[in-house]
Amino acid sequence: MPTVIGTSLDSASGPHLEIFRQAGFDFREVSRQLDLRKNDQLIEALCDADSVIAGSEPYTPSVIEALPKLRVIARSGVGYDAIDLAACDRAGVVVMTTPGVNHHSVAEHTMALLFGVARDFPMADRRVREGRWKRTRGPRVMGSTLGIVGLGRIGQAVATRAIGVGMRVLAFEPKPSQEFLEEWPVELLSLDELFARSDYVSLHLPLTPETKHLINAATLARFKPGSVLINTARGGLVDEAALSDALWSGRLRGAALDVFEVEPLPLTSPLLQFDNVLLAGHTAGIDNESLRDTFKMCAEKTIELYRGGWPVECIVNLRGVSGWRWARS
C-alpha cells in the first residue's frame, strides 16, 4: 500500500481522501508541529512517504537524497521553484504541478490587491479604528492602464477582469495565445514599453534564473512615475531592496505583494515600514474551489503514475525519460 503524506495547507480534508482510499493508498497529513522549512524536520515528516502532496516547503538535494523511498512530489499549485529538479532527476522522483486549477483565485486576489492600493486600504480601515477621520483620494481605476507581465492562464484571467472594470490592458508575453488576443483587447508590448505606460504592473511569471530579480533598480527606473507594482507570482521576481528604494523615493505610488523572497516575511523587512504597501501571506492561489480541484488533481495524477501512466501535462522534470516505473528496480 503506497503512503502519501500531505504537507500542503488544509490537506486533511478534500476529495483526495476518498480517491486515495478507493485506490488502496494510505494518506496521512503531516504533523503541523513540524517546521517543514527545516530540512531535518521535512525529512522526518516524509521518511515513510512514497508520494507527497507538497506545499511551498524546500526540497533541496539533501532532502531528496535522504528520502530513497520517495517517488512523487505532487505540488499543490503551479510553482515549483522550491524543488531542486536536478536532484529529483538524479533520484528518479517525478515532480508534478496542478495547472489550470487556481488561475481564477489568483486573478481575483490580484484585483483585490489592485483595488486595495487604489482605494487606500488597509490605511483607511486603520485610521477609522484609531479615531483618525481622514478622507483621501486617488486616481480612478476605470480608465487607468494595467500592464501584465506574463499572459498565461493567470495573466489572461487578470486581463479579462481588468477589461471588465474599464481598464486598458497591456501585456508582455513571448509566446502569446493568438486566440486570446483575437477575443480580448490586449496590446502586446516590450517590457520597457509596458513599464513606461502602465499605471499598475502585475507580475505573472515563473521564477527561473532568467526572471530572478526581473524587477530591480534598473527596471524600476523605467516604470511610469506614480505607478504601482503588484506581485502574486513569485517573490524572487522582485529585488525587495530596490523596490524599497523606489518606494522611499516616491517613484512608485505603492505596491501590493502576496509573495516574498523569504517567507514568512521577516519582521525586519523594510517593506513593513510603508503605509502604501499592501501585504498578504502567499494566499493568492487559495480559495475553496482551487484547493478542492488541486487536491483532486494531485490524487488522480499520482494514481495514474502508480498504474503506469505518464501525465505529461503535469510533469515538470525527467525530460526525455522513458520507462519510468513506480517500483524501483
Active-site amino acid positions = 234, 263, 282
Amino acid identity, residue 142?
M
Partners of 27 in beta bridges = 4
Mapped onto helix, strand or coil, the DSSP state of residue 18 is: helix
Which three three-digit cell numbers place residue 169?
A: 490592458
DSSP line for 123-175: HHHHHHHTT---------STT-EEEEE--SHHHHHHHHHHHHTT-EEEEE-SS
Task: State the pairing for strand pair 200-203/186-188.
Answer: unpaired
Closest by CA position to 106, among listed 293, 296, 235, 286: 286
**CA dihedral for 77, 81, 82, 83, sign (positive or negative):** positive
Which three three-digit cell numbers place residue 187?
A: 496590446
- Spatial neighbors of 155 by CB under 8 A, at least 6 apart, are 148, 149, 171, 173, 202, 204
Amino acid identity, residue 181?
L
Residue 25, φ and ψ in degrees, nearest 5? -90, 150
Partners of 73 in beta bridges = 52, 95
| CB 281 within 8 Å of CB 253 | no
| CB 147 within 8 Å of CB 172 | yes
- The rounded distance, in Å, linking the Cα atoms of 118 and 4 is 44
Instruction: Note if the bond before 264 is cis, omega within 30 degrees.
Output: yes
Mapped onto helix, strand or coil, the DSSP state of residue 82 is: coil
The owner of cell 530579480 is: 213
The owner of cell 523605467 is: 222
